[in-house]
Structure 1
Amino acid sequence: MSYFTAHALSCVFKQHSTQQSDTTLFSDLSFHLERGEIVDLTGPSGSGKSHVFMALALLDPHASAKLTLEGKDSSSFTPESWRRNVVYLPQRPVLTSDTVLDAILLPFDFSINRSVKGLGPQTAKPTAKQIRNELDELGLDDVELVRNPTTLSVGQQARVCLLRSLMLRPKVLLSDEVDAGLDSDSSEKVGAVLQSAADHTGMAVLRVRHRDSDGRASMILSLAHGRLSRREMA
């Protein structure tokens, strides 16, 4: 039994006018992720990669799929608990708090993360020292915890959002081009942090990437013209 599975994954834009036909972005896609595995999703712009991610996180009203996590169907989860376990990290970072520290700690005040089932000892609210150390690992040693997130570059904001997601200890992380626009050294640090999280927590990682392979993905999924192809990596 696979750790995370997606079957019959489809995205169709319905037309309200009878004069126009529905638009199918992709249909009947299937793949699976194993515990601790990193898989890359590639494909041309507009092929639907972000819609795949939103569908997997139950965030796309145009999409449908049969999804399972650790053998449990997504229908057995509430939408909130599913998104707590299957975290979508969008391409455009969103940080609304007044400081970097508050932005990272914000989700820990949500009820789904304060509940016994939603937040176990392994995902206890991190300390400022832990956050400082993790920011340094991501190459953000020059970003102060008291700094306003709006003053950060897009690449810095993306890495702060990544750290926030990782500290929630999701079972599946959907990372949409988090290293886009980063220099090679910063991109390597992001990859190393994701690899460490996958190795130590068993988190499965699905990444949208347009960079050359960094050798961490066990498989490359390519989406084009509504079809999904697979390439196993040595």
Structure 2
Amino acid sequence: MSGVMLRICSLFVCMLLALPVWAAQRELSGVPRVIDGDTLEVAGQRIRLGGIDAPEMQEDCLNNSGQRWACGAWATEVAQAMLAGRTVQCVDLGQRSYDRIVGRCYLGGQDVAVALIEAGAARPCLRFAREQGQEQAYLRAEQQAKRANAGVYGGPLNPIAGFCEPSRATVSISAPAVPPSADCVIKGNVSSNGRIYHMPGQRHYDQVTMRSDQTRWFCSEAEARAAGWRRARQ
């Protein structure tokens, strides 16, 4: 290979290495349909916004006067008003929550999750925000919401969802009891031996009971390894 070709190849490799991690991830764009405060439907796909937790649709909160208000329905309305008729660009983060893609969505270049936190319509889900590299951005947004007494920050906060706690050994937002699809049958399980995945046919595969806080389905061994899991020895 000539010196010119070597220089071209080297430049191409450098360009690939310079790309952000998400550049190789699947992207979706379109005008979203808001399902709730942290779930959108974009291009026919349901997307759970990663790293945040909005009140459930039927959830109530208390204001500073001790009066109850429908914070869950309100958070959904905030997201609807924010995104109505506008196109978002979303990145698939490679995780799944029930039948939803876990993703990060942008509106005019701004992370939608940051905007929702600043409005007091969602809170940082620190465990996943940290894993996804957004912890500091989401904490800054939370400080702004607290200063403004925005939304849920205008009164005593409800307990954050258990899966958001950084100290917990959870590995996924949720894991349904059955595989999300016929191609996603690898069982990930947290045990005293760490994060281990079991292939169909392995010795302990049938003994792993899928639970919401200690397990996770994977669609391939590559996906499991990329998430920091190792294959069971038997």
Shorter chain as denominator, the TM-score bin is: under 0.3
Structure of greater relative contact order (alpha carbons < 8 Å, 6+ residues apart): 1
Greater Rg by CA: 2
Q: TM-score, normalised by structure 1?
A: 0.26
